[in-house]
Amino acid sequence: MKKTSTRLADGRELLYYDSRDDAVRDAVDLRPLEAVSTTAEIRHDELLGDRVAIASHRQGRIYHPPADECPLCPSRDGRLSEIPAADYDVAVFENRFPSLAGDSGRCEVVCFTSDHDASFADLTEEQAGLVLEAWTDRTAELAELPQVKQVFCFENRGAEIGVTLGHPHGQIYGYPFVTPRTELMLRSLAAHRAATGGNLFDDLVRREREEGARVVLEGEHWIAFVPYAAHWPYEVHLHPKRRVPDLRALDDAARTEFPRIYLELLRRFDRIFGPGEPPTPYIAAWHQAPFEGEGRDAFGLHLELFTIRRTSGKLKFLAGSESGMSVFINDVPPEAAAMRLREVASE
């Protein structure tokens, strides 16, 4: 992998990740951009203990532009975009409309490919491996920022999820605090250790392998299963078999196998509802340990992949119980979801 760092016209950082060592990335951003001005701030909800990012400047962000005006496509034929190069493998840049900025953290955009009409599932194993290297490198770089306590790499795919740009891309958030979801996991880890002396992540993976009913896909170094208490209609958790706290700690064997396993999962998601159905909307979320604090070494890196589509033409909405009380009601039994995801395996 070759990494090239440069700056956009307004001073934001842009990084190219190339599979070829001889790639040259010297194109200059010629747009007349003013420096980015944000209103991002973090407020504390005293009742729930949550933190909320207030970012009113995001109201003006680009919303579903036509393909020939996509800001994530390369700059070609006189049309200037967020990426000055005429082509790229993987590109990462600071978000122009960040939810977190400055002392409140950092937000980055990850463009998986220059092909506007592709999806992550269309990538080759080599391309997917390069994205993994980019995620890992960004985790390592953001870990050095004093204001960043935890890094979250994720992809939102599909208009139903709320994606505003159709180009295949994800985001990386560097939070200035440990997220509520992670704090819950850390508390569960501590309680499990106090009760059993074991590690909760290890024991969950062991149970799923032994029971087998919810296992979707298993390789030598990774295992994917529908969790016993899945919140979403089709939800898969992907774990490395050797527990590690974050992407930086994956060994070479796990890195090599990941693209094949992950691409197969994404392709199965697009086949869940049968031929002729539109691409399945999904969220793919990497859960990594915070950089500091008790419980880091016990945490298990994993990816959670889920869709809000519950059946053909119908979405799972967060209604009263989910939105009001955080009590999920799932219409699809996890065992049935796992069976369906095994049925649609690639031949």
Query: What residues are labeled active site?
Result: 169
How far apart CA 196 and CA 258 sit, in angstroms, is 31
Question: What stretches of 102-220 show up as alpha helix (H) in DSSP?
Answer: 125-142, 180-196, 200-211
Amino acid at the residue 115: D
**Per-residue three-class SS string for 93-118:** EECCCCCCCHHHCEEEEEECCCCCCC
Q: List, in sequence order, every residue forming a beta bridge with 17; answer none if it has no partner.
A: 3, 90
Instruction: Please give, one letter per residue, the 3-state secondary structure of 297-321.
Output: CCCCCEEEEEECEEECCEECCCCHH
Coil vs helix vs strand at 19: coil
**Residue 170, φ and ψ in degrees, nearest 5:** -135, -170
Strands 314-315 and 41-44: unpaired
How far apart, in whole angstroms, are the C-alpha atoms of residue 36 and residue 168?
Answer: 24
Please identify which residue in the block is written with the tokens 């990816």.
303
SS3 call for 167:
coil
Amino acid at 179: T
Inter-CA distances, 160 with 113, 137, 315, Å:
22, 30, 8
